[in-house]
Amino acid sequence: MLEAILERCAGLDVHQETVVACVLTGQLDRAPKSEIRTFGTMTNELMELGEWLVEQGCTHVAMESTGVYWKSVWNVLEAFELDLLLANAHHVKNLPGRKTDMKDAEWIAKLLRCGLIEGSFVPSEDIRDLRDLTRYRKKLVYDATSEKNRIHKSLQDANIKLTTHMSDIFGTSGRLLLQKIVDGEVITMEFLETHMKGALKHKSPKLLQSLNGRLRKHHRDMIRFSWDHLVYIEKQIRLVEQDIRNRLASKQEAIDLLVTIPGINEQAASVIIAEIGTDMTVFKDDHHLAAWAGVTPGNHQSAGKKKEHERDPEMPI
């Protein structure tokens, strides 16, 4: 029989609409008393769960990292003075047999009581908020690139060969031409010679020739749809980046240290801080940090055969 180390603890089996909680209480040298209750996942119901756990005298609470459902439970219970642990689903998998929500909650509680659950890395609230922003910025940049590719495709369909003479049609000069195309205005040699920047001024005749395609109303409409969406996305990116800068103001020292690493600029530094935070005491050593980041090769061998194994991130948030 495994040795117990916690007198009062709880295991939670979290689902979209319900949370099954099992509280184990009792002296360490005796079989614990088990009490199981089911709660809803509305905020007031999760508050009731937290109050019940406090009433039961729980000191530690463990839950499984099931999808995104655990996040709301964690966020609410964080307000109570409980030691929360997020368990990797592969590490707390129950033995085969009859499976119920109550048995799962009890199994998690038993593992926790014996100290067999190593909590996954869950950063502080401010770092989690920063992580949402940096990941959203990445998504917006991806969306902006998709719209740029659509504009490229529409121009090629209309046989507008701007990219032959312009390395970036989304630079200052390229955007002037795209706006003219979207507005249906005639682009003249005089306009090109006056408004094109840098070396493009000397390419005015070639640019004018490249604009001589078969641009139908359909092409112009498609370019306009993508152009308007691109302008909106770029505005959102600027707003998100400003929010990120504001949140990083108190972490400037960490930013300054990170940018001294070759290949790391301020944007990359903000992503690093958003993913691992600034408190390195949460990782036992540099090897654990490297393993969490997924840059340490795994070794899964049985009977002389190596098996493929996907990395189980310690922080599924």
Arithmetic mean of pLDDT, 196-222: 87
Half-sphere exposure of 200 (CA within 13 A, CB side): 26
- Look up the CATH number of the domain holding residue 63: 3.30.420.10
Phi, psi of 2 (to 5 degrees): -70, 150
For 30, the domain range is 8-113
In one-letter notation, the amino acid at residue 276 is I
Tell me the per-residue pLDDT of 4-44, one tens digit each, with 9 for 90 and over. 899 999 999 999 999 999 999 999 888 899 999 999 999 99
CA 70, CA 166: separation in Å to the nearest integer? 50
Residues contacting residue 3 through CB under 8 Å, at least 6 positions apart:
28, 114
Q: Are residues 243 and 292 in the same domain?
A: no
Is 317 within a domain?
no
Residues contacting residue 40 through CB under 8 Å, at least 6 positions apart:
17, 18, 19, 46
Least confident of 21-25, 61-65, 155-159, 281-285: 281-285
pTM of the predicted model over 0.85: no
H or E segment to which residue 157 belongs: helix 125-157
Structure tokens at 171: 């630079």
Tell me the per-residue pLDDT of 81-138, one tens digit each, with 9 for 90 and over. 899 999 988 778 766 666 788 999 999 999 999 999 888 888 889 999 999 999 999 9
Q: Are residues 163 and 243 in the same domain?
A: yes
Is 314 within a domain?
no
Q: Are residues 230 and 281 in the same domain?
A: no
Burial class (CB in 10 A: 0-12, 13-18, 19+), 38: middle
Q: Are residues 201 and 263 in the same domain?
A: no
Structure tokens at 257: 């240290």
Is 178 within a domain?
yes
Tell me the per-residue pLDDT of 292-304, one tens digit each, with 9 for 90 and over. 777 777 676 777 6
- Look up the CATH number of the domain holding residue 230: 1.10.287
CA 13, CA 63: separation in Å to the nearest integer? 6
CA 213, CA 232: separation in Å to the nearest integer? 28
H or E segment to which residue 33 belongs: strand 33-40
Query: How many domains is the chain partitioned into structurally?
Result: 3
Q: Are residues 136 and 244 in the same domain?
A: yes
Give me the percent of the chain exceeding a pLDDT of 70.
93
Is 278 within a domain?
yes
